[in-house]
Structure 1
Amino acid sequence: MSTTSVLDGFSLLPMTPPDLVDGLPSVHQDAAAVTTAIHVISTERAALANLEQIYQTDRLAQENLARAVGQIVRTVRNGGKLVVCGVGKSGKIGQKLEATMNSMGIYSAFLHPTEALHGDLGMIRPHDTLLVISFSGRTPELLLLLPHIPSTVPVIAITSHMHPDTCPILSFHSSDMGILLPAPIHEDEESSLGVRAPTSSTTVALALGDALAIATARRLHNTPGRGPAEVFKGFHPGGAIGAASAAAVLTPSSMSITSISSDYIQSGSTASSEIVSFPRPASRQQPLITDVLVPLDQIPTVSAADEVRLLDVLLTAIQHPNAKSWVALSPSEIIPPSHIRSLSQSSNVDLSASALAALGLPFSVSRGDWLRVSGASTLDDVRRRIAKANSACGSRVKVVAVMHDANPEECVGVVEAEEVWGDCG
């Protein structure tokens, strides 16, 4: 064949390469992507298995986890909060942990260490606990911050270190004020995945943070009917979680009422000196006062290490959503929801209970001023009683005490008077 005929043959070939048969490179690329993703998942699963093994077998890790839970519970019960601190990806984990803690009724706040050094350090109060997240245990921003933390504030550290003596961020505190929660990984991320991006390290930190939140919630919320599940649902009225919770809630009229001792209520003023029992209607067309009451045994009593402050009252209301913002100051005094809402607008949460009363702010209502009505009363019956009491006493009834049908000396729950009027329509 001549050179000319060969060249003529090439000129007949198309310039665009032919389509690949069955798209093999594309298939190979997809398979490689899936293989890579599975490898990442497998690596992070191994990291979690390693973390589980540590807390199953390491006595110091177990003791420190129990200490951390106990410390956070004491902090919240004493009117303090958990301050979560971290930088970069650890900071993102910290923000998620703060949100989880708050959704469980564990008062928490996130603090960026750099912002703390420029004025936000005032967020940390003497009765708080600080939780820092740092895989290396030597994050520069945290090392700059920690010397300025009040000496009364314990520090919990989630880090890769297995012993507190090797962890730089715990070197500023004595052993009784520092708690190490080890969260190492089984192999470094560059060896596992070829890149040093935080992957396995953030996964184990997130898992340990979730474990800490759930364990703390179970210790903190241990009253029957007011456990972590009820608290969590109370803080999620919206979205799919709220919709699922609403669908599962029984109608108020079907709820079981548990009576408590009449020590809470003694006869006092004209408004509460007489109980008028109204016959239960033959038909259930008219709503009863029991349909809207809050059971008295679900209302928490505020507690504090020293004198009760406004902050203690507000925290108690937040941590007990089933009480619908009712808070007992003592067995003889109760704070209704409208007063809680008004007090929450105050800019000085350190005001004591006595100072609030001296300032004339709406606060607690004495049991002698509670209007006592029968549990068989309809809402219309109670409205008439409220109007009559308001006219006779010259002051407005704030709290309606619902008494047991069979035993008029036993209170089963309370209703705010303004809520009774609000149900007119």
Structure 2
Amino acid sequence: MKQQDSPPEHPRARAHGPVQNSEVYLLRQHLPPPFTSIPPPSPPSPITPAEPDYLVDCSGAVVPAVNISSLTLADQTSLAAACDEKLAAEDRVSKGVHVLATEAAALQNLATIYSGDKPTRERFARAVDVLVRTANQGGKVVVIGVGKSGHIARKLVATFNSLALHAVFLHPTEALHGDLGIIGEKDALLLITYSGKTPELRALLPHLAKELPLLLLTGHQKPEGVELLRESADRMARKGETILLPAPVHELETVSFGVAAPTTSTTAALAVGDALAIVVSHEVHGDKEGGVAGVFGRNHPGGAIGKALAESQARSEPQDDCRDAGVSETELSLSSSPSSESESSLGSTSSDEEDGRSTPTSVTSLTESSTAVASAVDDDGEEDVTTPTITAKPPTSSTQPTILSMAVFPEQIPLFTENDDSVTGVDILRAAYASPSGWLSLDDKEIISPCRIKALPTAELSLPLPQIRSRLAISKERMVPVAAGTDVNVAKAWIRGLRAAMGPASQYGDDGVVAVFEGGETVGYLEVGKLLG
């Protein structure tokens, strides 16, 4: 068999060897995508919350929201000024309330002194005797003062005269230049000076008749330190009576307000003077026709008060017609209610005056002998006047319980006699448990109420009494004085107002004690919390 011829060799194949090439065969079929220089997208940003439609401004009011970015500089300045103005207004009101609360505290402190301090009460009673004697013998009250005390003196003269107690004002400087002639031999002198050493009064004192009684209304509670009293020693040696009437303040005006301007001091002096005028007028005019209210009405025919008094008198005229028609006094008395016995058409004398006792007049208008003219304002008032109810003492009836009906009487409070360092809180707790009223008396000046005993922490029961005495006991000076005839609701409203001004941590808190007084004596005690509860 013939072999097939092989292909001819390439002429250069033998000379150069095997032929090579550079081709590369890729076996992978799917290639990656081409590289790109654009980075991947960033994650989404959080959603910005929408701006509120309303905001609360600097004064606490809700107002429409304002986009700050849309405000101009002038707009922003205007908003800041408005906010500052509102804050300034709030600050003004706050400062005003501070003044009112401070003066209210000063009056309460004054009432506490006159109801609980025996020497002060005795001096007040003596001063009333002097002025009553002066009025009955046809004399007058010569009130002397300079500066702000002079203004208080002029106001007191107006009050005395409106109550038919003859009074005149005398300026100490003018007195040394001829006005001393206004003083008569039956007169009484009332000097007003907070410091007790006013130079003008000291210069006048040697020229005043030494036989005349002198009342000194000052900021000192004790005679020590009153220069005018030391300089009037020869007056007492010559039968002239000198009586100190204290009108102190609970703190200096520089402490209260940062300035020594007469504020609380003049308020205190005015209150004591008003107390004198009211009490003296009741003793001088109480047995006259119409009583004090009738006298005041005749002296005050003008203004809103005069109009109200005239309307009250007009309503009483039909009773006179009944008498003219032949109706007897007995028939008229039988037709009236039992409670009207103490309320005549123009007032009557209080029971305390009838039995000879003089009741200190509280500056808080809660006394048993006060003249009430309801819904009436003075000459300059602009309010509509409603018909007043004029009485000589606050109304007390079975439908209006008095604060005395809620009080614990002193005879129900046992005296805790073990008063030494060995006595502990446990002993006090044991004694209070045995007390029929739950109250205890440490001495004549301190009382322990049930709520104070209950509030004593368990850890302090083992402590000696001297260490817990301030927490348990309350002195009479810290009690809230209220007249026994005061209506319960009236007392509640009064104490709530003082608590709002002074704060619950003051003597008007729930652990405070009300001292119920009658005829100048404490006749009962009551916890403030129980009264308000």
**TM-score w.r.t. structure 2 length?**
0.44
Which residue does 2:302 correspond to in 1?
Answer: 238
Q: 2:164 aligns with which of 90, 95, 105?
A: 105
Q: Which consecutive unaligned segments of at least 5 residues does structure 1 have?
A: 1-12, 260-279, 281-425
Find out whether 1:72 has 2:131 as its counterpart: yes
Task: Give the number of the structure with larger relative contact order, counting CA–CA contacts within 8 Å between residues 6 or more apart.
Answer: 1
Q: 1:214 aligns with which of 259, 278, 282?
A: 278
CA distance in 1, matches of 2:124, 2:270: 15
Following TM superposition, by how much is the alpha carbon of 1:166 offset from its aligned partner in structure 2, in angstroms?
Answer: 3.0
1:164 aligns to what SS in structure 2?
coil
Following TM superposition, by how much is the alpha carbon of 1:18 offset from its aligned partner in structure 2, in angstroms?
Answer: 3.6
Q: 1:174 aligns with which of 236, 245, 248?
A: 236
Answer whether contact 1:50 1:186 (CA < 8 A) is retained: yes
1:24 aligns to what SS in structure 2?
helix
Q: 2:94 aligns with which of 12, 35, 41?
A: 35
- Cα deviation digits, residues 248-306 of structure 1 (max 9, x gap): 113657427999xxxxxxxxxxxxxxxxxxxx9xxxxxxxxxxxxxxxxxxxxxxxxxx
Which residue does 1:275 correspond to in 2?
Answer: none
Q: Which consecutive unaligned segments of at least 5 residues does structure 2 have?
A: 1-71, 327-533
CA distance in 1, matches of 2:222, 2:122: 12
Which residue does 1:193 correspond to in 2?
Answer: 257
- Cα deviation digits, residues 60-82 of structure 1 (max 9, x gap): 11011111111011111111100
Q: 4+ runs of 1 displaced by more than 6 Å?
A: 13-17, 256-259
State how 1:372-411 maps to structure 2 within 5 Å.
none
Find out whether 1:183 has 2:247 as its counterpart: yes
| Aligned partner letter, 1:124 | I
CA distance in 1, matches of 2:85, 2:149: 37
**TM-score w.r.t. structure 1 length?**
0.55
Find out whether 1:135 has 2:194 as its counterpart: yes
CA distance in 2, matches of 1:255, 1:180: 48
Distance of aligned partners of 1:23 and 1:158 in 2 relative to their CA distance in 1, 3 Å threshold? same
1:20 aligns to what SS in structure 2?
helix
Following TM superposition, by how much is the alpha carbon of 1:225 offset from its aligned partner in structure 2, in angstroms?
Answer: 2.8
| Aligned partner letter, 2:236 | S
Following TM superposition, by how much is the alpha carbon of 1:126 offset from its aligned partner in structure 2, in angstroms?
Answer: 1.5
Find out whether 1:255 has 2:297 as its counterpart: no
CA distance in 1, matches of 2:212, 2:96: 42
Distance of aligned partners of 1:34 and 1:78 in 2 relative to their CA distance in 1, 3 Å threshold? same
Answer whether contact 1:105 1:232 (CA < 8 A) is retained: yes
CA distance in 1, matches of 2:92, 2:261: 18
Distance of aligned partners of 1:256 and 1:157 in 2 relative to their CA distance in 1, 3 Å threshold? farther
- Cα deviation digits, residues 383-413 of structure 1 (max 9, x gap): xxxxxxxxxxxxxxxxxxxxxxxxxxxxxxx
Which residue does 1:314 correspond to in 2?
Answer: none
Answer whether contact 1:98 1:110 (CA < 8 A) is retained: yes
Number of corresponding residues:
249
Which residue does 1:204 correspond to in 2?
Answer: 268
| Aligned partner letter, 2:112 | Q
1:255 aligns to what SS in structure 2?
helix
Q: 1:122 aligns with which of 165, 181, 187?
A: 181
Identity among equivalent pairs (%): 46
